[in-house]
Amino acid sequence: MTVKDVLYLTPKFCKLHSEPLVAVDGAAFTLLTIQCNLFVGTLAPFALKRPELQPILQSALRFDISAQFMLTEVNHGLDARNIQTTATILADGDIDLHTPTPNDAK
C-alpha cells in the first residue's frame, strides 16, 4: 500500500477493504483501517505540499508506528466535537495533555 493508493482510492486500496481474510480478525482489520483511512488518509493531502510528512506516512503504512489516537472521552463517547481534552505542543517539543475533569478522561 502506498500513500498514492490511499490518497486516490486506487483498486489496490479498495481491494484491501473487500478482502475476505478481514473476517478472520475484526480487531486487526479495525486497526488497519484506522491506520490507513483515518491517519494516512487525513495527512496524505497535506503531504503533497509538505514533503516532511512523507516519512511519517511511510512509517505508518509499514506499521513502524501506531497512529491510533484518543478520540473518545468517558462523558462524550465518540462525540469528537465536544471533547474537552486539549493537547499543547510545548517549546521543548513535549506535549501537554490536559484533561479538565474525570468525565473527560480517556
| Residue ranges for the chain with pLDDT beneath 50 | none
| Residue 92, pLDDT score | 92
**Pair (12, 62) in one structural domain:** yes
Q: In this structure, what C-alpha cell is assigned to residue 58?
A: 511511510
- Strand 86-89 relative to strand 95-98: parallel, antiparallel, unpaired? antiparallel
Do both 81 and 103 map to the same domain?
yes
Query: Domain containing 41: what range?
Result: 1-69
Q: What is the pLDDT of residue 70?
A: 63
pLDDT of residue 104: 84
Residue listed under C-alpha cell 473487500: 18
Please tell me whether residues 89 and 106 are part of one structural domain.
yes
**How many domains would you assign to the chain?**
2
